[in-house]
Amino acid sequence: MSYDLWYWPNIQGRGEFVRLALEGAGIPYRDRAREDGAEALMRDLLARQGFKPFAPPYLVDGDFVIGQVAHILAWLSDRHGLGAGSLETDLQLIQLQLTITDVVAETHDVHHPVGADKYYHDQKPEALRAAASFRSARIPKYLGYFEAALGVNDGPFVLGKKWTPVDTSLFQLVEGLTYAFPRRMGALKAAYPRLYAMHGAVTEIDGIAAYLSSDRRIPFNEDGIFRHYPELDAE
């Protein structure tokens, strides 16, 4: 059995949160637009009927298709035993995952505060203002929240010894924020020891270690969600 993952082929973007869970758990999948191109992705999405996804990423298993990162990961967790296995805790894991969705959207909106349909260079003054607030108020608020969640159990992961897609997603959040805001994240790093212990532990998951050193891991770039514009970063 193999899933089809459909996501833009040249960026990590939101698809990376799904890729990391699949790779970490050793679940077979085809990264379809990386094989067939972005046009194939647009054709596939347009051709779909019924309750189809609004936007990539989406995951296909035979006749079934599901979009929204947090939802995809909840589905995979249920099917492949990646969650806690108790309804209450699994719902709380989804709560964490949805909060990651929120911070990812806010990170995107820092470089596109006026509109996603406009170029960054057409909204630079607004992006400068958005970045100042994001760096000073929002990054610490989100990271503090996740640091507290990692303190519920004994670590290094949210559930303790067992990793879940929330951990691989938090790893990706730290990676992305560090790429986009290296000065700010450097200044904040010491305040979040559990977050960075989790980050290190995720790199030691066999499937993740293999993935990170493979050419399947697309380097960060300025077409994705986590973009490094030096003018938007400061301690």
Ligand X SMILES: N[C@@H](CCC(=O)N[C@@H](CS)C(=O)NCC(=O)O)C(=O)O
The answer to whether 113 contacts ligand X (rule: CB under 6 A) is: no
CA distance 86 to 83: 8
Position among 25, 32, 34, 56 found at the interface with ligand X (CB under 6 A): 56
Q: Which is nearer to ligand X, 57 or 113 (CB)?
A: 57
Q: Which residue is nearest to ligand X (CB)?
A: 55
Position among 22, 33, 65, 69 found at the interface with ligand X (CB under 6 A): 69
Q: Which is nearer to ligand X, 45 or 209 (CB)?
A: 45
Rounded to the nearest whole angstrom, what is the least distance from the CB of residue 193 to ligand X in the complex? 28
All residues at 6 or more sequence positions from 116 whose CB lies less than 8 Å from its CB, including other chains: 108
Rounded to the nearest whole angstrom, what is the least distance from the CB of residue 14 to ligand X in the complex? 4
Rounded to the nearest whole angstrom, what is the least distance from the CB of residue 7 to ligand X in the complex? 8
The answer to whether 165 contacts ligand X (rule: CB under 6 A) is: no
Residue 28: exposure state from Cβ atoms within 10 A (0-12, 13-18, ≥19): exposed
Position among 3, 5, 12, 13 found at the interface with ligand X (CB under 6 A): 13
Q: Which is nearer to ligand X, 14 or 199 (CB)?
A: 14
Position among 5, 14, 159, 226 found at the interface with ligand X (CB under 6 A): 14
Binding site for ligand X (CB under 6 A): 13-14, 55-57, 68-69, 101
